Chains A and B, each alone.
Chain A
Amino acid sequence: DPKIIQKPKYLVAVTGSEKILICEQYLGHNAMYWYRQSAKKPLEFMFSYSYQKLMDNQTASSRFQPQSSKKNHLDLQITALKPDDSATYFCASSPPTGEQNTLYFGAGTRLSVL
């Protein structure tokens, strides 16, 4: 059974619309992340959260907003979508101690913006 669930697996959106990417992890981790992968940038760090608090934000655009309603949830809201936002978005988590920085990835959400 997948321990990090991302929904939906595929998403098609029109330019200018808004979408929410869902991520839930059942590994008991306190740190969660979002990464983006496209043909132009192989694996790009976006956000990190620890205990539901934003730790690092490497996304220049405010159109990308992470949302953490529960400790094991980290959703990603994207507004005013652009074709350049087309990518696979990976959610990841890591253990708090002992294996710091070892990332466990979800299956990803493949977003296509038309």
Chain B
Amino acid sequence: GDSVTQTEGLVTLTEGLPVMLNCTYQTIYSNPFLFWYVQHLNESPRLLLKSFTDNKRTEHQGFHATLHKSSSSFHLQKSSAQLSDSALYYCALGGYKVVFGSGTRLLVSP
């Protein structure tokens, strides 16, 4: 079945450093939808960005990701972390149903 792998459970960064959260997926579908959701403390998950176009960069709120079907990856990046970026980030794969990865908690410190 479909699956999403997020290898880092916790990423700690100092403010101003670049962010990269890894996401790889497995699916039989040739045109998958990939998503990043962000969940701040005591809030519900909300969509951060999404893509279904191969090798096209998608951006939102300073974050960006590029879907690479050749490597089944959809890594999330940001050039400079902010304190307010501290949150739980889920990579998700759309299809018959949405499958979430295990999540990566990002902690940004001063």
* A binding-site residues for B, Cβ under 8 Å: 33, 42-45, 48, 55-56, 58, 90, 94, 100-108
Chain A contacts for B35, CB-based, 8 A: 101-102
Inter-chain contact A42/B90, CB cutoff 8 Å: yes
Q: How far is the CA of A71 from the CA of B94 in the complex (A)?
A: 23
- Distance in angstroms from A36 CB to nearest chain B CB is 11
Show 8 residue pairs from A and B whose CB-CB distance is below 8 angstroms, ordered by the A residue: A42-B103, A43-B45, A90-B45, A100-B33, A102-B35, A104-B46, A106-B44, A107-B44
- Given known pairs A42-B100, A43-B103, the reply for A102 and B50 (CB within 8 Å) is yes
**Which secondary structure dominates where chain B touches chain A?**
strand
Whether B102 contacts A108 by the Cβ 8 Å rule is no
Number of interface residues of B (CB under 8 A): 21
Count, A-B residue pairs, CB within 8 A: 49
Other contacts beyond A101-B35, A101-B98, A103-B92: 13, CB < 8 A: A33-B97, A42-B102, A42-B103, A43-B103, A90-B45, A94-B98, A102-B47, A102-B50, A102-B94, A103-B45, A103-B47, A105-B44, A105-B46
Question: Contact flags (1/0) for B72-106 with A, using CB distance below 8 Å?
Answer: 00000000000000001010101111111011000
Q: B residues within 8 A CB of A45? A: 97-100
A56 / chain B contacts, CB cutoff of 8 Å: 96-97
In the bound complex, residues from chain A placing their C-beta under 8 Å from that of B97 are 33, 45, 48, 55-56, 58
The docked-state distance in angstroms from the alpha carbon of A104 to that of B98 is 12
Nearest chain-B residue to A99 (Cβ)?
B50
- Inter-chain CA distance A44–B46, complex, in Å, is 15
Shortest Cβ distance from A45 into B: residue? B97
Residue-by-residue, is B6-48 near A (CB-CB < 8 Å gives 1, otherwise 0)? 0000000000000000000000000001010100000111110
Contact between A108 and B44, CB atoms less than 8 A apart: yes
